[in-house]
Structure 1
Amino acid sequence: MGRSDLERLSREELIELVLRLQRPQKTSRTSSKPPSTDRKERREQAKPGGAKPGHEGHSRVLSEDPDAVVDHRPDRCACCGGALHGDLPAEVVSVSERIELPAVAPVVTRHRRLAVQCPSCGGRGVAPVPQAARGTPFGPRLHAVATYLKTFQALSYERLQAALSDLFGLTLSQGGLMNLLRRAQARFRAGREAAVAKLRRAEVVASDETGVRIEGSNSYHWVFHSTDAVVHTASPTRGAVVVREMMDGHRPAVWISDRYTAQQGHGVRHQTCLAHLARDVAYAVEVSADPVPLRLQFWLQAVFALAERVTDLAASTLAAKRRALERRLSDILSAPSRCDLTYELQARIGRARDQLLVFLDHPGTVAVTNNGCERLLRPAVVQRKMTNGYRAMWAATGEADIRTVVDTARLSGASPFATILATVA
């Protein structure tokens, strides 16, 4: 906006512009911005980490099945110096453990095909090519380790190459690593298809997406989450077409997401993530003296408190509390205000009003926030920051398949590496 534009503004418009410019920047507490973007002075004012006063301490749990047990007995009495024979009864006064990793070195098995001349006819018999000598020289555990480090520890090819060399004494070129990972990723396609099939039968589905660079272009990493399936997918678009292709006509009873347009209209009913609204309200409370945002904040706190015990209350009690919340919200949304932030909040919440308390109709099965999807997306965000994205689409889709199989298995308590090893073996 130039000088001529400013000169055409009215006095009230100039005052409003100055007030807007004086507002503090949004932080991770008042928006969806990550904590890493917070201003340095705010981070310096944060409370120190570590245990707080009065926190009950915890110690390492001893192993249930140690590999070896060594008893240390005294051989002389500390009082009189007399001998303490090994057949005397003893009691355990303390137990400690020492934990160490064994030295890891590759196990190389050389397969040699032999030829033998027949003593009867003089013919030459050659052994068939063994199965171990067909295809890649690298075994399934090496495939699993490389896949785990690349996908879940966000190592670049260069750092993965260094890790395998430093830790295990393995020398692999980056091209060899790329081929190794492509072979491993292909083994996860069947598991992905099974997870997608489960998702298309789910009654409650949550979704979210985050930006990622693929082949040098802005693209998106999507996640879809139900009670028994997690599906990741990479796409060049953030549009609703991604959801329609994923669900293939299935329309769950409830869809959970933020208010982004592409996430809307995919379920019979929709539960808006109230955590997103709470951050917007927190920002309005921080920068505005208007009482309406504070009333909205109190209302959301009441909703979150009710969500924590929604499975403990009778249906009649939930219905009564819902009516009370609806009445409070009506009063808040109809309250007059001259604050533009308040007006925007009232309009935004008014448009989503039928999506705020859907969780009360599905106690224990519909979450009040979309934090589950946000947690599932966090490793993809870390990967983006560490490696700056993917060089090729096959790498993005292959990694999405791996995350799909691993995160789905996690729902039943399986560990990531065990799942990867079982898949590639």
Structure 2
Amino acid sequence: MDRCPDCGAELGSPFRIDSKIVEEIPEPQPIMVTEYKIAHYKCPCCLKEVAAKDPSCPQEGKFGNNVIALATVLKYEDRLPHRKIHDAMMRLYRLKISPATILDLTRRAADAIQPEYDAILRKIRRAPILYVDETGIRVQGEMCWIWAFTTPSETFFVIRKSRGMKVLMEVLTRRFKGIIVCDGWKPYARFTNRIQRCWAHLLRESKDIAEKFEEAIPLHNALKELYDLLTKALENDPPPEVRMTLWELAREALRHWISKEYSIEKVRKFIGKINNGFEYWFTFIINPGVEPTNNRAERALRPHVVLRKILGTLRNDKGTSIHERIMTTLATWGQKGLNSLQMLTAKLAC
């Protein structure tokens, strides 16, 4: 500045210069239009026609890999409906894409990551510890189930009409030897006896019953205390002999509470539920790495619950397959700390 904005006096040299860093995004950019000259050849040996390829030129359609990847991430990671994706593309790039085209772009993205989807399934089948849960989702207005199979580094989704054991057989096969952490849904126990039942479900249900019936208050308090003692005792990863002692004491403590007489029918039913899963409450004690709750699988399903509210229903089997593959891959990339937009763009260029 040359002069004081208040009195007009000459300012001279500054006595201090501050530095201020500002981050800004560019103005909305116009789209880039590229013409590719695709050379065709006739092989002199096998006489087949061969067309030249370039990684930046999609095999089908007029939209490039960046457009396909961004539209897919906007829909499945940012959970925007097709109309909002159309608006975003127009606002940012003056690019017009119809809702039907957006669906087809996600199909192309799903096809590009099919090998990744298959690789994740193979890892899930070999997992020593697997967290599994399911929740309802509608396909063409009919109730189906989206299943989540997750580990600390991979997550796999399928959507099926069944909530039964045949889905476990299809996804995991008979050769699965790992431990499943799950809720008390019966198909899990039919599929394997290597199970850890979810203590979060147990304590929520015991709290709910204790709030309704005074008779259940000591039971809820005992279960909560037992869980807290066990999780604290396992914090420092004790040796196998200590774990075995804890396992025996925990079983004895639980058996004491479920052997008591209860007069209220709902409390007795709850006791029956605990007793039916008795062999599965303490797997986490003697198997290091097994978590006592199924929170991992529940967290994996939360984005689908949000999408379910936005979409209402998946339209057809094609949309279901796209949903499975993209959500599986995005979730797994997220667990590994990878940039989903960059990863998807790279897969489309392969």
TM bucket (normalised to shorter chain) is 0.7 to 0.9
Are residues 231 and 313 of structure 1, via their aligned partners in 2, closer, same or farther at CA, if it must alter by over 3 Å? closer
- Structure with more of its chain in helix, by fraction: 2
Give the TM-score of the pair, scaled to structure 2. Answer: 0.85
The CA distance in 2 between the partners of 1:186 and 1:134, in whole Å, is 12
Partner of 1:121: none
Name the amino acid aligned to 1:237: S
Give the TM-score of the pair, scaled to structure 1. Answer: 0.70
- Residue 341 of structure 1: which of 266, 280, 305 is its match? 266
Deviation by residue 1:296-340 (Cα, 9 ceiling, x = unmatched): 333234314532552404234433333332222122111111111
**1:17-166 matches, cutoff 5 A:** 83-84=12-13, 97-111=21-35, 132=57, 135-166=60-91
Secondary structure class of the residue paired with 1:242: helix
Larger radius of gyration: 1
Name the amino acid aligned to 1:216: G
Partner of 2:293: 369
The CA distance in 1 between the partners of 2:265 and 2:2, in whole Å, is 80
Name the amino acid aligned to 2:320: A
- Contact in 2 for aligned 1:228/1:408 (Cα 8 Å): yes
- Residue 203 of structure 2: which of 278, 295, 298 is its match? 278
Are residues 248 and 130 of structure 1, via their aligned partners in 2, closer, same or farther at CA, if it must alter by over 3 Å? closer
Secondary structure class of the residue paired with 1:211: strand
- Contact in 2 for aligned 1:213/1:389 (Cα 8 Å): yes
Work out which structure has the larger RCO, using CA pairs closer than 8 Å and 6 or more positions apart in sequence: 2
The CA distance in 2 between the partners of 1:172 and 1:277, in whole Å, is 49
- Contact in 1 for aligned 2:28/2:91 (Cα 8 Å): no
- Contact in 1 for aligned 2:165/2:187 (Cα 8 Å): yes
Deviation by residue 1:265-288 (Cα, 9 ceiling, x = unmatched): 334511001111111101111000
Secondary structure class of the residue paired with 1:278: helix
Determine if the alignment matches structure 1 residue 266 to structure 2 residue 191. yes
The CA distance in 2 between the partners of 1:84 and 1:302, in whole Å, is 73
Q: CA deviation at 1:402?
A: 1.1
- Contact in 1 for aligned 2:31/2:94 (Cα 8 Å): no
Name stretches of at least 5 consecutive residues in structure 2 with no aligned partner: 5-9, 38-50
Secondary structure class of the residue paired with 1:104: coil
- Residue 310 of structure 2: which of 375, 378, 386 is its match? 386
Name stretches of at least 5 consecutive residues in structure 1 with no aligned partner: 1-72, 114-127
- Contact in 2 for aligned 1:253/1:267 (Cα 8 Å): no
Are residues 344 and 104 of structure 1, via their aligned partners in 2, closer, same or farther at CA, if it must alter by over 3 Å? same
The CA distance in 1 between the partners of 2:275 and 2:36, in whole Å, is 75
Partner of 2:109: 184
The CA distance in 2 between the partners of 1:152 and 1:201, in whole Å, is 27
- How many residue pairs get aligned? The number is 329
Deviation by residue 1:149-203 (Cα, 9 ceiling, x = unmatched): 1112222222222222233321112222222221111111110110111111111
Q: CA deviation at 1:236?
A: 1.7
Q: Higher mean Cα deviation, 327-336 or 368-377? A: 327-336
The RMSD of aligned alpha carbons is 2.8
Secondary structure class of the residue paired with 2:230: helix
Name the amino acid aligned to 1:339: I
Partner of 2:45: none
- Residue 223 of structure 2: which of 283, 296, 299 is its match? 299
